[in-house]
Amino acid sequence: MAKVAQKVILSSSRDIPFDKLALSQSNVRRIKAGVPIEELAEDIARRGLLQGLNVRAVLDADGVETGMFEIPAGGRRFQALSLLVKQKRLAKTAPIPCIVRDAASEILAEDDSLAENMQRVALHPLDQFRAFQALREKGQGEEAIAAAFFVTPQIVKQRLKLASVAPALLDVYAEDGMTLEQLMAFTVTSDAALQVQVWDAIKNSWNKEPYAIRRMLTETSVRATDRRATFVGIEAYEAAGGTVARDLFQGDDGGWLEDPALLDRLAAEKLRAEAQALVSEGWKWIEVATDLPYGFSYGLRRVHGEAAAMSEAETVEHTKLLSEYRALDAEWSEADEIPEDIDARLAELAEAMEALEARPMIFDPAEIARAGVFVTFDRDGQLVIHRGFVRPEDEAPIQGPDAEDAAGQGGDPHLTGSEPTQSYVDGAGSAVITSGGQPFVTTSEDDDDGVLKPLSERLVMELTAHRTLALREAVGRSPDVALTLLLLKLVTDTFRSSSATGSCLEASVRHVYMAAQAPELKDSAVAEAIDARHAAWEAELPLGDDTALWERLSTLDQASRLALLAHCLSFGVNALHERVNPYGAGISASGLTRRMKHADMLAKAVDLDMVEAGWEPTAETYLSRVPKARIIEAVREAKGEGAAQLIDHLKKGDMAVEAERLLKGTGWLPEVLRRADLVALQGETLEGQGDEDGIAPEEEDMSSDTVDLPAFLVADLPDDLAQMIAAE
């Protein structure tokens, strides 16, 4: 006969006055954990008691109910109710919903307390995300949700952001197919299709680290710290319809701008607007560019203006600021530590004085009429205006005696700034040659009407040939004059290249423009050093007057003359590798070999160190632009075979990033940047090295070095194995 299942009988429920309840000693919860009692009390006050208390009647010594009830399960709720009673927000006799367990039950009170805490299942995080989303969809704002659940609005935003990830990825997360950290990484973009695409690309890969997901999702975006974004402004970009992807779970430096094309258009429009504001100044031309290359002013003459004087009010204000600055500086100069408010005030005073000292430049109106302006922005996104550059074709012709002298001696028209000499035949059949902008006609000896006419071109050439030879002999025995002459020509080439074609010395520095260059070259330390040195000489030399320039060069001391000579010659250094042209145009193979050999000799002579010059192997400058084999070889040369083996299994993008980290600070250089003399010396040293046991130096170093392994390379390895690999 089949056994009949026993019917389940549930405990009854009833309302019991609060003052008839007491916390049982059988409650197993002893340690405070979870939501604080204060927050739970506020939640009960707002929405009421969602779950009744589990109670048992208190019996006296004879087993008779006393009218009091103890609470083995629900102690935290009881404590929250007690707090509300204490705050007089709940009456002492308020009825409390309770489940009343039979005092004679075989189930122990501790059993009930333990079961209530252990049998409940915590809400899956995804359910919480979706619940927050449902609350917002039904009209609750982020602030209201945060207040209701005693969390910050930022946490609500994070949960809502997680709930907005592509549904397909949320399903993967619900099935434990990805971690919460990975799901967080997908929130950096709102493009659901891109999220799914990236997950499909990496889900079977060994590297599914959150940082890799973020990198893949933002590789086509622009950092908010990019100079273009700083120049345009995030607000202007968003107002134009651009979107910004932000990472709510870790620092993102302002996020990523997801529409680079829009950003470039806004940057160009803002530059044009800035240029339009300069039109009223009267410049002949204005060039705008988001990125001016190094050497952008090559071939142009710089016009120098004078700083506008301060007004009387500005002078008084500057004096007042300077007095206060000096007083504070003197008062705190001997102190071990300057208070923050004093330090801030000193900074304010310095900034205010700098603003007054930054005077607008006043230019000659005649120069403005032929000169132009470059408008761009720097690496910090700040507007930069380069005023006063004259193109060769805009130079004014030289007037006065100098022009007449040049014309009478067959001078080069480029020296005078005139139009190129033109020959033509008039109606009478006589050849007319222009010189200094004025034509003259050659005639026969019989054609003499008593008018003083210019010398014939042939005669001028013969006479100046005699003068040239005499000058050569004189300069050859005058070294000091020769150095001044060379400096005059080189300074003209370097600082006034628009007029450099006219000179009596056939020696020159040809500025070498680097057509292939990394974007950061113009902002490098060496570029800044050259620009600073150039500006210092430019400010010291009277470049607008050749006579004054000759006198200045003649009076320089020998050290200054040699320093100026070195500066001018430096602009002609050409150590560029160029494509060989076998058909004659450009450089030949033998010429390129000779150039590189000369460059090596020069590098040795000046003790060139490319590491000190600021070059380092990064993913952008080198590693991502060479094959994987070269990346591995670079790490092997710098850090040893063990380090190379750590990255040889990575994909190229990850390998380049990791190699950049490993190579940082090692001083490693690619072959083309190494000095030939040091490479040869190192080769000889290594040939003869080795300790008594025959261990090569690099092997000995490898045995003592410990490679700093990134977390993702050793995350799944036992500690001893990870240490073994690191030591290897």
Model confidence at 534: pLDDT above 80: yes
Confidence of residue 336 (pLDDT cuts 50, 70, 90): confident
Of residues 67, 49, 47, 48, the one with CA closest to residue 57: 67
Give the DSSP letter of residue 204: T
- For residue 576, which of 624, 510, 627 has the smallest C-alpha distance? 510
Q: pLDDT confidence of 654, banded at 50, 70, 90?
A: confident
Percentage of the chain modeled with pLDDT above 90: 6
Least confident piece of the model among 330-344, 437-451, 466-480: 437-451
pLDDT bracket for residue 680 (50, 70, 90): low
In the predicted model, is pLDDT for residue 695 greater than 50?
no
Tell me the per-residue pLDDT of 402-415, one tens digit each, with 9 for 90 and over. Answer: 554 444 444 443 33
CA distance 547 to 539: 17
Taking residues 344-360, what's their average pLDDT?
A: 86
Q: What is the pLDDT of residues 235-259, one digit of tens each?
A: 999 999 888 877 766 666 778 888 8
Query: Is residue 68 over pLDDT 60?
Result: yes
Model confidence at 355: pLDDT above 50: yes
Chain segment 396-445, per-residue pLDDT in tens: 765 555 554 444 444 443 333 333 333 333 333 333 222 233 333 334 44
Asked whether residue 458 carries a pLDDT value surpassing 80, the answer given is: no
Task: Identify the pLDDT of residue 184.
Answer: 83
Residues 6 or more apart in contact with residue 71 via CB below 8 angstroms: 21, 22, 23, 24, 27, 53, 54, 55, 78
Q: Average pLDDT for residues 10-18, to the nearest whole number?
A: 86
Q: What length does the chain have?
A: 728
Please, what is the average pLDDT of the chain?
A: 76
Q: CA 529 to CA 190: how far, in whole Å?
A: 45
pTM of the model: 0.53
More confident of the two residues 242 and 9: 242
CA 679 vs CA 150, 394, 609: distances in Å = 66, 50, 13
Q: Which of 108-122, 348-362, 496-510 has the highest mean pLDDT?
A: 348-362
pLDDT recorded at residue 423: 33
Supply the pLDDT for residue 424: 33
pLDDT at 583: 57
More confident residue, 644 or 104: 644
pLDDT, residue 17, reads 92
pLDDT digits (tens, 9 = 90+) for 373-384: 888 998 889 998
pLDDT grade, residue 515 (50/70/90)? low
pLDDT, position 635 = 92
Chain segment 174-183, per-residue pLDDT in tens? 888 888 888 8
Residue with tokens 């389940």: 8
Rounded mean pLDDT, 319-343: 87
pLDDT for residue 200: 85
Burial category of 266 from C-beta neighbours within 10 Å (exposed 0-12, middle 13-18, buried 19 and up): buried
For the stretch 30-48, what's the b/e string if a residue is b when 16 or more beta carbons lie within 10 angstroms of its beta carbon?
A: eeeeeeeeeebbbbbeeee
Encode pLDDT of 282-322 as tens digits.
888 888 888 888 788 888 888 888 888 888 888 889 899 99
Alpha-helix runs per DSSP H in 418-545: 457-476, 479-495, 525-540
Query: Which residues, at least 6 apart from 518, have a Cβ–Cβ distance to it below 8 Å?
Result: 621
Please tell me the predicted confidence (pLDDT) of residue 449: 53
Q: Give the CA angle between residues 6, 9, 11 to the nearest 5°.
A: 155
Q: How many CA atoms lie within 13 A of 27 on its CB side?
A: 22
pLDDT at 158: 75
Q: Give the per-residue pLDDT at 705.
A: 45
Mean pLDDT of 577-587: 67
- The residue ranges of DSSP E strands in 185-274, in sequence order, are 222-223, 244-245, 256-257
Q: 726 pLDDT band (50/70/90 cuts)?
A: very low
Token readout for 558 is: 């020998």
Percent of the chain with pLDDT over 70: 76
- DSSP-assigned letters across all residues of 298-362: TT-EEP--EEPPPPHHHHHHHHHHHHHHHHHHHHHTT-SS--HHHHHHHHHHHHHHHHHHSPPEE
Least confident of 378-392, 661-675, 703-717: 703-717
Mean pLDDT within 11-23: 88
Q: How confident is the model at residue 701 (pLDDT cuts 50, 70, 90)?
A: very low
